[in-house]
């Protein structure tokens, strides 16, 4: 859930707070600014103000002015640039809007990795983990008329035991996580103006029993009273031209209550690739006759399920999607991408005839909104990445996984583009009791928040791992395939001609699950002979052979090539390329600088020739 500093505790500790003020709050090097109203994505409550320009970044004794989002190690290819550091971001601002007459919340969309946040020297709280948002209420006793100073200490060091993506620390004290650990305020920061009642969670979930049925839309909203007095709030909702009420509740000071409602949409216009119909939705909170907050979003009506024959149906039509996995990484921006470069990546997916995307972590809300608008499907994964079973047995690791699962569903549940919530990537391929418990617990946690989507997990495919009972609660599986690129344990995936029989084994193991081929790729960074690993010719032939096999499996729910665009990874990475280009991961079909490799055209030609929805 989004973080809230307990308002009551703060109200009791003005003296403590005053004492803390004595602690030197980092002096902001820039004059106070009045933030501008607006947001970098659409869905959400009104009253959002961007804190983007003129942040002071202090690191290693130096100080510079930056704009947020910011990754402090977006450039630089050496181990020194790679190794995680600590920094403090400071921003001075005047309260906009109605100022001290209102309540205020600060919202961080993504900080990598640990954040400690203070306001005018008063500690607001801490948060661990990138890629999902968190918020703190700004207690009135902490706020000042005039200049206020927000300070965020960011510690990007991933320890070996309790951090995601799991970072084993190598002999050189190098994190071994599967991508470059960009540090900083990687996505934007907002002030949110609240008039007593804040809707800090809104879930709009259409359910479509059949392709020609009426849809039932359920609404859930958490109404949070930020004021010091009890408030009587009434919530209403609109869906397209229809409206409903979520009821009235009396909220105690600091209290939260969940209100729900539903309505029926007859003859709905469905959302799917090719015709991504979206309905405008609002959820409004009123106190008396006064509207105090309006949440607006767009969502679509669609169904995703697996039938008794194990065929994955989107709106009742067989799905066999084609697409790409991607990382948030762009030259010069690093992991702090702009909407413009996010859109360029989505353009490439569509230029290749792709209708699906996957990542190892929740993406920026703008990407999901664009996927909603473009009719792209999303495998949405939390970075429970290559966590060893011994780590998974530790309560703090499981609690962090729960935090990611909960925060991801709460933040992204309204996007019709998301069809799979993935709880992990490449845990141990032998699913023992620890992982079995993790899967069962995670599936139940996600289902309680959203039962309208598939719940999956990606794993590394090896013939010797056989069928795993522990995957039982999952409705989707993602198998990562590198036959004929890696050799695997005991050389069992060295021969790409074994891929087809392995896929048939997977289907026999899990006849009633949605099976996605979530990863397959071959590194390529140079011209050369087709029989030499690492050449463009080898990659093109390997892609043609591998996709050729995937195209013979009509029961597949889809596949995403690993990856769309090259990304930065630890400097010693070679990915089994005899001549690697440090620190780049180069299985992509587009270079880091945006140049398409020959394999892009191979994929595009085969993707466009393949029926992805309906047959
Ligand atoms: C794994 C992992 C990826 C990684 C890939 C590779 O499947 O999920 O993050 O990049 O292997 O080895 O290229």
Report the CATH number that the domain containing residue 231 is assigned in CATH.
Answer: 2.60.40.10
The length of the chain is 615
**Do 447 and 566 fall into the same domain?**
yes
255 and 374 within one domain = no
Domain that holds residue 435: 319-608
**What pLDDT score was predicted for residue 172?**
62
Tell me if 178 CB under 6 Å of ligand 1: yes
The protein residue whose alpha carbon is closest to atom 3 in ligand 1 is 178
User: Which of 193, 222, 255 represents a domain boundary (last residue)?
Assistant: 193
In a domain, 304, yes or no: no
| C-alpha of residue 177 to centroid of ligand 1, in Å | 10
In a mutational test of the pocket of ligand 1, which residue from 164, 165, 178 has the highest number of ligand atoms less than 8 Å from its CB?
178
Is the residue at 308 inside a domain? no
Whole-number Å distance, alpha carbon 346 to ligand 1 midpoint, is 21
- 346 and 471: one domain? yes
Retrieve residue 1's tokens.
């859930």
Q: Of 112, 95, 106, whose CA–CA distance to 5 is shortest?
A: 106
Rounded to the nearest 5 degrees, what angle is found at the Cα of 442, between the Cα atoms of 441 and 446? 120
pLDDT, tens only, 146-166: 999 999 999 998 765 567 775
- Whether ligand 1 lies within 6 angstroms of the CB of 587 is answered as yes
Q: Is the C-beta atom of 566 inside 6 A of ligand 1?
A: no
Tell me, yes or no, whether 8 and 143 share the same domain: yes
Looking at the structure, tell me whether residues 204 and 189 fall in a common domain. no
Q: Tell me the best of 519, 575, 576, 585 to mutate to test the pocket of ligand 1, counting ligand atoms within 8 Å of each CB and taking the most.
A: 519
Amino acid 168: pLDDT: 59
Residue 187 phi, psi dihedral angles, 5° rounding? -130, 175
Taking the C-alpha atoms of residue 482 and residue 502, their distance in angstroms, rounded to an integer, is 12
Taking alpha carbons only, the member of 603, 538, 527, 612 closest to residue 576 is 538
Q: For residue 182, give the nearest of 94, 70, 294, 34 by alpha carbon.
A: 70
Q: For 288-430, where are the E strands, in sequence order? A: 290-299, 304-306, 312-314, 317-318, 321-325, 356-358, 377-381, 418-425
Instruction: Check pocket membership of 358 for ligand 1, CB cut-off 6 A.
Output: no
Listed as ranges, residues in the chain with pLDDT below 70 are: 1-29, 159-162, 166-175
Whether residue 310 is contained in a domain is answered as no
Q: What is the CA radius of gyration of the chain?
A: 24
Ligand 1 atom closest to the Cα of residue 480 is 7
What local confidence, expressed as pLDDT, does residue 383 receive? 95
Ligand 1 centroid to residue 508 C-alpha, Å? 25
pLDDT at 175: 63
Residue 614 lies in a domain: no
Structural contact between residues 219 and 209, judged by C-beta atoms closer than 8 angstroms:
no
Q: What's the gap in Å between 313 CA and the centre of ligand 1?
A: 28
Q: Is residue 613 part of a domain?
A: no
Boundary-marking domain end, from 267, 299, 331: 299
Same domain, 295 and 254: yes
Report yes or no on 138 lying in a domain: yes
Q: Which two tokens stand for residue 394?
A: 């530790």
- As given in the structure block, the two tokens for residue 371 are 């996927």
Residue with the two structure tokens 């993602």: 478
593 alpha carbon – ligand 1 mean position (Å): 21
pLDDT at site 5: 45
One domain, residues 188 and 243: no
Domain count, the chain: 3
Q: Count other C-beta atoms under 10 Å from residue 504's C-beta.
A: 13
Does residue 327 line the site of ligand 1, with CB under 6 A?
no
User: Is there a single domain that holds both residue 188 and residue 207?
Assistant: no
Q: Is residue 517 part of a domain?
A: yes
Residue 612 pLDDT = 97
The distance in angstroms from the start CA to the end CA of the chain is 41
Query: CB of 426 closer than 6 A to ligand 1?
Result: yes
User: Of 149, 173, 193, at which residue does a domain stop?
Assistant: 193
Residues 187 and 221 in one domain: no
Question: What distance in Å separates the CA atoms of residue 446 and residue 407, rounded to the nearest whole number?
Answer: 10
Whether 546 and 587 share a structural domain: yes
Bridge pairing between strands 558-562 and 514-519: parallel
Q: How many angstroms separate the CA atoms of 7 and 12, rounded?
A: 9
Whether 438 is in a domain gets the answer yes
Alpha carbon 434 to its chain's center: 25
- The atom number, within ligand 1, closest to the CA of 460 reads 7
d(CA 604, CA 608) in angstroms, rounded, equals 6
523 lines ligand 1 (CB under 6 A): no
CATH classification at residue 80: 2.60.120.260
Report how far ligand 1's centroid is from the alpha carbon of 488 (Å). Answer: 13
**CATH value at residue 384:** 3.20.20.80
Rounded CA separation 548/496 (Å): 11
Local structure of residue 530 (DSSP, 8 states): T
Nearest-angstrom CA–CA distance, 356 and 44: 24
**Does 277 lie in the same domain as 166?**
no
pLDDT digits (tens, 9 = 90+) for 370-413: 999 999 999 999 999 999 899 899 999 999 999 999 999 999 99
Task: Check: pTM over 0.75? Answer yes or no.
Answer: yes
Residues 345 and 382 reside in one and the same domain = yes
Q: Whose CA is nearest to atom 12 of ligand 1?
A: 575
Q: Are 279 and 301 in contact (CB under 8 A)?
A: yes
């Amino acid at each position: 859930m989004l973080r809230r500093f307990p308002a009551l505790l703060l109200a009791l500790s003005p003296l403590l707070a005053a004492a803390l003020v004595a602690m030197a709050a980092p002096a902001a090097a820039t004059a106070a600014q009045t933030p501008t109203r607006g947001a970098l994505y659409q869905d959400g409550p009104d009253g959002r103000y961007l804190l983007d320009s003129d942040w002071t970044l202090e690191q290693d004794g130096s100080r510079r002015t930056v704009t947020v989002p910011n990754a402090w190690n977006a450039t630089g290819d050496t181990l020194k640039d790679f190794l995680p550091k600590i920094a403090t971001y400071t921003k001075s601002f005047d309260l906009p809007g109605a100022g001290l007459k209102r309540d205020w919340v600060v919202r961080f969309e993504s900080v990598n990795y640990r954040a400690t946040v203070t306001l005018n020297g008063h500690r607001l709280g801490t948060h661990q983990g990138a890629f999902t948002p968190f918020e703190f209420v700004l207690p009135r006793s902490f706020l000042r008329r005039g200049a206020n100073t927000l300070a965020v200490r960011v510690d990007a060091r991933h320890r070996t035991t309790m951090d995601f993506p799991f970072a084993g620390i190598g002999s050189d004290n190098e994190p071994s996580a599967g991508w470059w650990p960009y540090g900083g305020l990687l996505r934007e920061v907002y002030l949110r103006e609240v008039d007593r009642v804040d809707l800090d969670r809104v879930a709009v979930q259409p359910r479509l029993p059949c392709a020609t049925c009426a849809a039932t839309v359920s609404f859930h909203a958490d109404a949070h009273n930020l004021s010091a007095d009890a408030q009587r709030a009434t919530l209403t909702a609109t869906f397209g031209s229809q409206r409903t009420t979520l009821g009235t509740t009396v909220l105690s000071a600091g209290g939260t209550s969940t209100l729900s409602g539903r309505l029926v949409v007859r003859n709905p216009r469905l959302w799917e690739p090719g015709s991504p119909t979206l309905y405008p939705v609002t959820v409004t909170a009123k106190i008396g006759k006064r509207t105090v907050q309006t949440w607006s979003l767009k969502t679509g009506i669609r169904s995703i399920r697996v039938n008794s024959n194990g065929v994955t149906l989107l709106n009742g039509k067989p799905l066999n999607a084609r697409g790409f996995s991607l990382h948030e990484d762009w030259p010069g921006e690093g992991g702090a991408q702009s909407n413009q470069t996010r859109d360029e990546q989505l353009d490439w997916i569509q230029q290749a005839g792709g209708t699906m995307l996957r990542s190892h972590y929740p993406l920026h809300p703008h990407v999901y909104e664009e996927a909603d608008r473009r009719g792209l499907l999303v495998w949405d994964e939390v970075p429970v990445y290559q966590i060893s079973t011994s780590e998974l047995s530790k309560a703090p690791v499981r609690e962090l996984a729960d935090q990611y699962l909960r925060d991801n569903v709460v933040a992204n549940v309204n996007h019709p583009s998301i069809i799979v919530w993935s709880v992990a990537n490449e845990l141990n391929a032998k699913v023992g009791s620890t992982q079995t418990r993790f899967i069962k617990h995670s599936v139940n946690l996600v289902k309680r928040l959203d039962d309208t989507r598939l719940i999956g997990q990606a794993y590394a495919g090896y013939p010797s791992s056989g069928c795993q009972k522990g995957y039982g609660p999952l409705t989707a599986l993602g198998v990562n395939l590198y036959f004929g690129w890696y050799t695997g344990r005991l050389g069992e995936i060295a021969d790409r001609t074994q891929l087809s029989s392995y896929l048939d084994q997977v289907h026999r193991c899990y006849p009633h699950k949605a099976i996605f081929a979530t990863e397959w790729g071959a590194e390529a960074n140079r011209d050369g002979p087709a029989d030499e690993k690492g050449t463009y010719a080898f990659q093109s032939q390997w892609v043609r052979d591998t996709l050729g096999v995937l195209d013979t499996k009509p029961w597949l729910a889809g596949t995403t090539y690993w990856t769309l665009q090259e990304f930065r990874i630890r400097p010693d990475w070679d990915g089994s390329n005899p001549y690697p280009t440090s620190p780049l991961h180069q299985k992509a079909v587009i270079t880091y600088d945006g140049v398409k490799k020959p394999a892009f055209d191979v994929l595009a030609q085969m993707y466009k020739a393949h029926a992805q929805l309906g047959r």
